[in-house]
Amino acid sequence: LNRRLAEFGTTIFAEMSALATATGSINLGQGFPDTDGPEEVREAAVRALREGRGNQYPPGPGIPELRTAIAGHQLRRYGLSYDPDTEVLVTAGATEAIAASLLALLEPGDEVVALEPYYDSYAASIAMAGGRRVPVTLRPDGGSFRLDLDELRAAVTDATRLLLINTPHNPTGTVLTRAELAAIAELAVERDLLVVTDEVYEHLVFDEAEHIPLATLPGMRERTVTIGSAGKTFSFTGWKVGWVTADGPLVSAVRTAKQYLTYVSAGPFQYAIAEALRLPDAYFDGFRADLRRKRDLLGDGLRAAGFEVYQPQGTYFITTDITPFGEKDAYAFCRALPERCGVVAIPNSVFYDDPDAGRSQVRFTFCKRDDVLAEATGRLRRLA
């Protein structure tokens, strides 16, 4: 393994899912639903396979039907207008979109200011692109995590090329407010920065929280690469259909990198997701309501088991603190959890440059059946 990747071994998600399998534990670690997405979307994929649509290399930027559906979704939901031919790119999941964006837009040595704790592929993708990550840490504040705008501003130097934003935020569940986004936008314009914004949890927001795409703020459309994914919105994480929407020259740059990573993305699933994106609002509203209920089910269960719970406004994750158990090391706690009570979770410490910053934080997912969540929280009560 070369020096750029030396610090990145097996991802925590693979490690912890393997532990769940090996121990027969309930897996509340890796974020994937245990119920597949809509039947009609699955049928659309089967139809495409049978009818021979997408079984050979589809067009590099993605099939026109899907690019049109993505552009239609951005316009309908957010009033953002993108040309399906030049301003939309289909990728192999959001993961490839992140890697391709950074590989395309960074020069070696460029600094990337990223929210921390961060989704683990950010650090690896920045490293592969030869960039330097500069974390801005979200900190617990009144029961949830918040961004300190002064810290963000102070992190930007003359070497900063790009801000890497994620809202709704994995793993904290924070949804950036309009005021926070406005401050980010102002900073990006003032310092002439590009912004890559990972919005894969755009539809998973609860209570009063609202997802506001960064690209909708003044001065942002021309400097923002927005990343989405069908995995989270439609519960098909195994299909690996993601996308990028941005101004033409940015999409053209990202497409250049994508061509040499995967060339194209798998065909039949693209036809199915094109149909999924046109589902009525009732689908999105129903999915959100269901998850909100599950959030409360898991949150109540974790509190009853003795965890300190940070209330998420979005995503399908809950970050907790294990200090009430007299525990300090999230990684050791998560390694031991299957044996102690048959549950798997993710230590947030691996999402920080300084693991001490997240030393006592543990993340649980609630995208599981109600009976599974009830059984898991019942088992966690044994920790007390």
Task: Provide the binding-site residues for ligand GLN, judged by CB under 6 A.
Answer: 11, 13, 30-31, 170
Residue 65: which of ligand PMP, ligand GLN, none does it interact with, CB under 5 to 8 A by kind? none
Alpha helices in the chain (DSSP H): 12-23, 39-50, 64-78, 93-105, 120-128, 149-155, 178-190, 230-234, 248-261, 267-276, 281-305, 330-341, 370-380
The full DSSP string for 356-374 is GGGTTEEEEE--S-HHHHH
**The token pair that represents 180 in the structure block:** 């926070």
Measured from the CB of residue 330, what is the shortest distance to ligand GLN in angstroms?
15
Which is nearer to ligand PMP, 58 or 93 (by Cβ)?
93
Return the bridge partners of 62, or none: none
Does residue 198 touch ligand PMP according to CB under 6 A?
A: yes
In the complex with ligand PMP, the residue whose CB is nearer, 119 or 331, is 119
Which residue from 137, 170, 235, 319 is in contact with ligand PMP, where contact means CB under 6 A?
170
Edge-to-edge strand ranges of the sheet holding 308-310: 308-310, 317-321, 361-365, 346-347
Take residue 83 and report the two structure tokens written for it: 């040309």
CB 284 within 8 A of CB 57: no
Return the range that interacts with ligand PMP (CB under 6 A); candidates 87-95, 298-306, 327-335, 376-384: 87-95
Smallest CA-to-CA distance from 200 within 235, 242, 236, 261 is with 242
Contact present, 30 and 365 (Cβ < 8 Å): yes
Near ligand PMP by CB under 6 A, which window of 65-73, 157-165, 229-237, 358-366? 229-237
The item of ligand GLN, ligand PMP, none sharing an interface with residue 13, based on CB under 5 to 8 Å by kind, is ligand GLN
Nearer to ligand GLN, 110 or 198 (CB): 198
Residue 166 interaction partner, one of ligand PMP, ligand GLN, none, beta carbon < 5-8 Å per kind = ligand PMP
Supply the minimum distance, in Å, between the C-beta of residue 366 and ligand GLN.
Answer: 12
Instruction: Give every CB contact of residue 354 below 8 A, 6+ residues apart in sequence.
Output: none
Instruction: Sketch the per residue contact string, 27 through 46, with ligand PMP: x for CB under 6 A, - otherwise.
Output: ----x---------------
Q: Does 365 bind ligand PMP (CB under 6 A)?
A: no
